[in-house]
């Protein structure tokens, strides 16, 4: 993960937490998910822009290289709901 250190710092300082099972960075407050691949494949400038981007939709925003399938989104959201209920 050395390659991602500056980007990982940007994400963690913006309130994102890494989910090892999903290989994604998640921020429940802003309802944003970045896949590890998207973070690796895009520039720091892109990442900063997407972190700062407002999410007024009320829905989760997924930043992946390829749009996640509806099944992946559904599973992801179900897992997040389960984790929230367990806390």
Taking only the tens of pLDDT, the chain with its 87 residues reads 445 589 999 999 999 999 998 899 999 999 999 999 999 999 999 999 999 999 999 899 999 999 999 998 999 889 888 877 776
Q: How many domains does the chain have?
A: 1
Quick check: 40 and 27 in contact, CB under 8 A?
Answer: no
C-alpha span between 76 and 22 (Å, rounded): 8
Domain housing 28: 2-86
pTM, full prediction = 0.88
The 24-27 sheet, strands edge to edge? 17-19, 24-27, 32-35, 61-63
Quick check: 64 and 37 in contact, CB under 8 A?
Answer: yes
Residues in CB range of 14: below 8 A, 6 or more apart: 27, 51
């Amino acid at each position: 993960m050395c390659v991602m250190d500056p980007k990982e710092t940007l994400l963690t300082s913006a309130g994102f937490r890494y989910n090892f099972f999903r290989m994604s960075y998640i921020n429940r407050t802003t309802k944003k998910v970045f896949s590890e691949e998207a973070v690796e494949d895009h520039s720091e400038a892109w990442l900063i822009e997407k972190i700062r981007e407002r999410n007024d939709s009320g829905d989760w925003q997924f930043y992946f290289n390829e749009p996640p399938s509806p099944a992946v989104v559904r599973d992801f959201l179900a897992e997040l709901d389960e984790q929230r209920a367990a806390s």
